[in-house]
Amino acid sequence: MNDYVKSLVKRFEYIQMQRDNWDTHYQELSDYMLPRKADIVKKRSRGEKRMEFIYDGTALQAVDLLSASLHGMLTSGASPWFHLDVKDTTINRDDDVREWLQDTSMRMMRAFSQSNFETEVHETYVDLTVFGTACMFTEIDNNNLRFSTRHISEFYVQEDQYGMVDTVFRKYHTSAVAAVQRFGIDNVSDTIKRVYEKKPDEKVEILHAVTPRIDRDTTKRDNKNMPFASVYICMGSKMVMSEGGFEEMPYAVPRFLKSTGEVMGRSPAMVALPDVKMLNLMSKTIIQAAQKTIDPPLLVPDDGFMLPVRTNPGGLNFYRAGSRDTITPLNTGSNINIGLAMEDQRRQAIRSAFYVDQLLVGGSPNMTATEVIQRQEERMRVIGPVLGRLMNEMLRPLIDRVFALMLRADMLAPPPEILQGRDIDIEYVSPLARAQKSSSLNNTMKALEILMPLSQALPVGDHIDPDGLVRHITDALGVPKTTLKSQREVNQVRQERAAMQQQQMERQEMSQDVADTAQAAQAVRMVQK
């Protein structure tokens, strides 16, 4: 084992040690709110029951609602959720640039929709909701994008000086035959070879390290001089089985919320955990109380009854005639209504922690457009900061990674020369982005309502760019750019309209000249007569 591998393994072991407290917390969160992923500290066999801690499904429903809402607001597959743009407005108005940006955006959206992105990104949102941290790996294979959401127990991360995750260690188990297929029989360790020969389906432990390559030679573009190093290590023998690199960070690691000084994120589930545990305990107790109320314990005399007590419907129990020895229910003194009221309080607290009240904002069918916009603004004020972090830590790295992969795979058209050396910006057009733009649109419409009556007395129109106003309104409403004409087509229509108007004016002038000539000739004839 060389010094480089030693340093990587030592670094990983240190990060792993720092995760012990987190793993205990993750286990408890998953036990109560995500039992299908409750394999962190406890290791359950396949098919083993995992719902033994759950007596109330409020938290599970809230997790499903928030994760599905995040999916719909940020990366809905029903409509485009991003568009490429250029910050320089002069270049952005160039028709060739706009056409290339539209074409590239459509190709990328098509690649997303044809991959397994929809399935995996939902798992990412679920992990964010429960654990506060998620990890998605992006790669390309035969011009097909592949995404994979890593389990919380597999990955370990570190940040750079700007608070962005730049180092990811993934310790995972795979079968020996899969390891041989992945790395080749000549590259795997002797440990894996022995397992492969005897029990090929037995699991082996592998460490994948992705770290910034600080000492790389920037003049070279081979695998060992890329910005990020990629090393696969057999944990059994500490042997390097593969060493390469990435041009971009292949892992996107978003955090729902983050505390100062911590690398791992915080989640709504962590806020709701005390109420979830209390609610489950209360539900268990209330169920027991209800059982006692419906089928109460019985007071039976200790003598006089020769037969067993029959509590089934129609059961007959005999006692001595004339005696007072009767079977009576035991009054436990329980008040189920108090318990039910306390349960409702806990359920409301759980829903508040998962933003249920904001996500399920109701409304009347007769609501005005202004009222709808106000409700959207209220929702964005509450959940907007969280979504802003997800855009920065998940969507932007993800889109950058996919763009670079597709560009290197010749899946995109060559960009115009004017874009050489220019930064491509990302414009989000998801339902969330449109909701955020609705405030700007509302202000624009209010300004127009105020200015239009003044246009008769003041040159208001001189201050307004009609083309810019149309683009602003359509962008805010989420109108697909493909449905709008390019500036070149608009200018062509205007030129054709101006030419037609000029021709009409010329024909009118010619007709007027002919009429004037005829009138003059008529006057001359009258004079001659």
Q: Is the pLDDT of residue 1 over 60?
A: no
280, 51 Cβ separation under 8 angstroms: no
Pick the most confident of 71-80, 394-403, 465-474. Answer: 394-403
Cβ contact 431:278 at 8 Å: no
Greater confidence (495 vs 180) lies with: 180
Residue with tokens 């060493």: 243
Q: How confident is the model at residue 476 (pLDDT cuts 50, 70, 90)?
A: low
For 363-389, what is each residue's pLDDT tens digit?
Answer: 556 666 666 666 666 667 777 788 888
Q: Which long-range contacts (CB under 8 A, 24 or more apart) does 25-29 make?
A: 25/270, 26/131, 26/152, 26/153, 28/273, 29/130, 29/131, 29/267, 29/269, 29/270, 29/273
pLDDT of residue 254: 95
Report residue 451's pLDDT band, with 50, 70 and 90 as the boundaries.
Answer: confident
pLDDT digits (tens, 9 = 90+) for 495-527: 888 888 888 887 887 877 667 676 766 776 676
Distance CA(84)–CA(86), nearest Å, equals: 7
Over residues 248-288, the pLDDT tens digits come to 999 999 999 998 889 999 999 999 999 999 998 888 888 77
Alpha carbons 208 and 233: distance in angstroms, whole number: 6
- pLDDT score of 255: 95
pLDDT of the residue at 316: 67
Query: Which DSSP state fits 392?
Result: I
Does the structure show a pLDDT above 70 at 53? yes
What CA–CA distance (Å, rounded) separates 525 from 240? 112
Q: Report the residue count for the chain.
A: 529
Helix and strand element counts for the chain (H, E): 16, 12
Percent of the chain with pLDDT over 70: 83
* Res. 12: pLDDT tops 60: yes
Average pLDDT over all residues of the chain: 83
| DSSP code, position 188 | S
Q: pTM for the complete prediction?
A: 0.80
Query: Helix or strand or coil: residue 159?
Result: strand
